[in-house]
Amino acid sequence: LAKTTQPISMDSYEGQEVNITCSHNNIATNDYITWYQQFPSQGPRFIIQGYKTKVTNEVASLFIPADRKSSTLSLPRVSLSDTAVYYCLVGPNTGKLIFGQGTTLQVKP
């Protein structure tokens, strides 16, 4: 599984757009880029996945440049309830997930 690097923490205010960038220089051809969200005292949950270009769902957008060596998770107009840890994972599905430390997003009123 490709190693990922993302900021340890970020602060934002309600109503702002938040962009979290993940670096994955050693991404392989068959790897997907997947983001999970974890609230305190809960297990992680899937929020978005992409392979190339841009993906958007009801929760977030994921921007992937042509070289796929990085990706950016975009959360539009965050609220206090978006305070969580966000994990970037890269790879095919081989039965296991290897998590980094993730990005702790703190949304302030």
Site for another protein in 64-93 (CB under 8 A): 85, 87, 89, 91-93
Q: What is the 3-state secondary structure (H, E, C) of the chain?
A: CCCCECCCEEEEECCCCEEEEEECCCCCCCCEEEEEEECCCCCCEEEEEECCEEEECCCCEEEECCCCCEEEEEECCCCHHHCEEEEEEEECCCCCCCCCCCEEEEEEC
Q: How far apart are CA 102 and CA 87, in angstroms?
A: 4
- In the complex, what is the shortest distance from the CB of residue 49 to another protein, in angstroms, rounded to a whole number? 4
Site for another protein in 30-49 (CB under 8 A): 31-34, 36, 41-46, 49
| Residue 102 binds another protein (CB under 8 A) | yes
| Residue 29 binds another protein (CB under 8 A) | no
# residues near another protein by CB under 8 A = 28
Part of the chain binding another protein (CB under 8 A), chosen from 18-26, 28-36, 64-72, 73-81: 28-36
Q: Which residues of this chain interact with another protein, rule CB under 8 A? A: 31-34, 36, 41-46, 49, 51, 85, 87, 89, 91-102
